[in-house]
Structure 1
Amino acid sequence: MKTENSIDIVITWVDGNDPEWRSEKNKTRYGKEQLAETDDREERFRDWENLRYWFRGIENCAPWVRKVHFVTWGHLPKWLNTKHPKLNIVRHTDYIPPGFLPTFNSHTIEWNMHRIPGLSEQFVYFNDDMFLLKRTGETDFFRNGLPVDMLALQPDVANVDNPVMPYIYLNNAFEIAFPEKSAYEIF
């Protein structure tokens, strides 16, 4: 059931130390369908053990959040209270079409988020290394049902000195330039 007047959070998480996950990932690492080299460094999948702080940040800084959709390959932190009423555990198999599974590609995981069962029409996406550090309100993210901010990835912008991140994040530009308007009103 999708809702229109509530805001959810989607967070993706992986435990790169999980031996079962590693085994599955290694089976697909050099598959025949892989068209290009990928960034497969250990730090991309490492669990930095700071997820408790992420949840604490949401609890303290955004208590208005309706649900937290915790997207995972299938493993969970041992300490996670899976019975919390605001928590929805979402495995890749719960929302990604079978033809794209198994996946270890963040784009596949992100591009299918709209398929998460019960996800609100309005949601905010977090990686597990993005934290809320001060109190926020719903209007920091949505106004009149529209997002107030947007993120643009510019893959063609030259950043040749860094082959891992050859793009530039453009974020908050609209909020700074036009605090009274949403990005969608500008275009």
Structure 2
Amino acid sequence: MALSTNRSPQDTLKIAQVRSANVDGTWAIANKAGIAYSHDPVLGVSVVSKSDWGRLAEELSSSEFKMVKIDSVAASYGALQVWSVQTPRFDNARAQRRHSGLGAIWAVYSDEKSSVPDIQDFTEPVDAVYTWVDSSDPDWQTSYSQFKNSVPAAGSHPTSRDIARYTSRDELKYSLRSLEMNMPWIRQIYLVTAGQTPKWLDTSNTKIKVIDHAEIFESPEDCLPTFNSHAIETQISRISGLSEHFIYVNDDIFFGRPMSPNVFFTGSGSVKYSLAKAHYAEASNPRLAVNLAAKLNAELIEAKYGKTTARKFKHVAHPQRRSIHKLINKAFSAEVQETAKHKFRHVNDVSVPSALAHYVAAAEGVGVPADIDYAYVDLGGNHLPMNLYRLVRGRGMQMFCLNEVASVSENEKRGQLAKRVLDDLFPYKSSFEK
């Protein structure tokens, strides 16, 4: 495929087209040289032996393909090396690494070694669940104002009614781009909304399904409408067709380099959660919603399992098991039902996918802590330009978060700067965009 550079990539190409051009190009080189290889259609990885890779790498180099070595976790525990191979016709040398998810991914195995999955590889289907709201929707704003004024504030978290918490900067669009670039093996994406659909979303793409809150809440007449993410999160396991293993993603989370399911699950299917260094009991502001929920989560864990909890979790994409959510809904039904009924964040909320599910998974023997290469950037914090610069010029984080702890509307330039960074990191449209 010839890749035009006359216009910006956003106008001309999608992620799948760029990746297909790279894959087809490398296969053509391998076929011409008589080099044997195989392909994993789920992971999107081409597989070759060590000795054949040596020959193929020479052929690719002579044809001006650029090869970037990436983490072996992008493919399999059995791989010796993993490479992203890209034609230079659409990207510059400096961008090769940060756009490695667009390349043809080649996994190199020992000679005569079988390319079947390693015993430590996770190979079951994995779905992704996003929650999203369009706060610019007039109908949503009317409903928000109505319930903000009519629902008693007693017990609500002080920041729960700040409309700045719902501000959208098209993060979802870029998060989906990052997912398609770096995790093409995701089977199905579910977008949970308040009856809303992003204007740019291509609803004809069957890989993504928009789910209305009313479809999943057990008692919609008592709980909806809701403006509480904790409430919505208690219900996500009720999505029809959701796989046992799934990843819960906030729209301010982005995936920075190619990853396989092994980043999120063990070979036997246990979840790999990311502990933060901070202890919630030592938080400088114990009244923050995350710390209040952590305290309640700890009380529930101690009551059921006779053990306590201390550490918080990083703000990353959270691997989940649907069966753990069902166990939580049964074991802590009163707390879950109360949280589901809180229309705004409440001091008595539990936080299910981002914390309680990890604690319960650990207690049940199906959850383990794991290190994640991760960056957290507060759009309202100090040194924002430098922190964003590191994202663009670094080797690429497995995950990063662009969060807005407080409203930055007084300095819109910060939001514009973040959008320019996202355009640079994820310049091509996903298949989910019109």
Q: Same fold (TM over 0.5)?
A: yes
Give distance in 2, aligned partners of 1:62 and 1:186: 21
AA aligned opposite 1:109: I
- Taking structure 2 as the reference length, the TM-score comes to 0.37
- Taking structure 1 as the reference length, the TM-score comes to 0.80
Give distance in 1, aligned partners of 2:150 and 2:279: 28
Q: 1:52 to 1:73 in 2, by over 3 A?
A: same
Match of 1:63 in 2: 184
Structure exhibiting the larger radius of gyration computed from Cα positions = 2
Match of 1:106 in 2: 229
Match of 1:148 in 2: 272
Report the Cα offset of residue 55 of structure 1: 1.1
AA aligned opposite 2:236: M
Among candidates 203, 207, 210, match of residue 89 of structure 1: 210
Match of 1:47 in 2: 168
Match of 1:31 in 2: 150
CA contact (8 A) 1:159 1:165 kept: no
1:70 is paired with a residue whose SS is strand
- Give unpaired runs (5+ residues) of structure 2: 1-122, 292-310, 316-360, 370-434
Report the Cα offset of residue 81 of structure 1: 0.7
RMSD: 2.9
Match of 1:130 in 2: 253
Match of 1:119 in 2: 242
**Equivalent pairs, count:** 174
2:191 is paired with a residue whose SS is strand
Report the Cα offset of residue 149 of structure 1: 1.4
Q: 1:41 to 1:27 in 2, by over 3 A?
A: same
Give distance in 2, aligned partners of 1:133 and 1:23: 37
Match of 2:284 in 1: 159
CA contact (8 A) 1:159 1:166 kept: no
1:114 is paired with a residue whose SS is helix
The percent of aligned pairs where both chains have the same amino acid is 32
Match of 2:262 in 1: 139
**RCO (CA 8 Å, sep 6+): is it higher in 1 or 2?**
1
- Which is richer in helix? 2
Among candidates 10, 21, 29, match of residue 140 of structure 2: 21
Give distance in 2, aligned partners of 1:15 and 1:27: 17
Give distance in 2, aligned partners of 1:32 and 1:75: 23
Among candidates 313, 334, 359, match of residue 170 of structure 1: 313
Q: Which moved more, 1:150-159 or 1:48-57?
A: 150-159
Report the Cα offset of residue 90 of structure 1: 0.6
Report the Cα offset of residue 88 of structure 1: 1.1
Give distance in 1, aligned partners of 2:166 and 2:265: 31
Give distance in 2, aligned partners of 1:125 and 1:58: 12
Q: Which moved more, 1:134-143 or 1:27-36?
A: 27-36
Match of 2:34 in 1: none
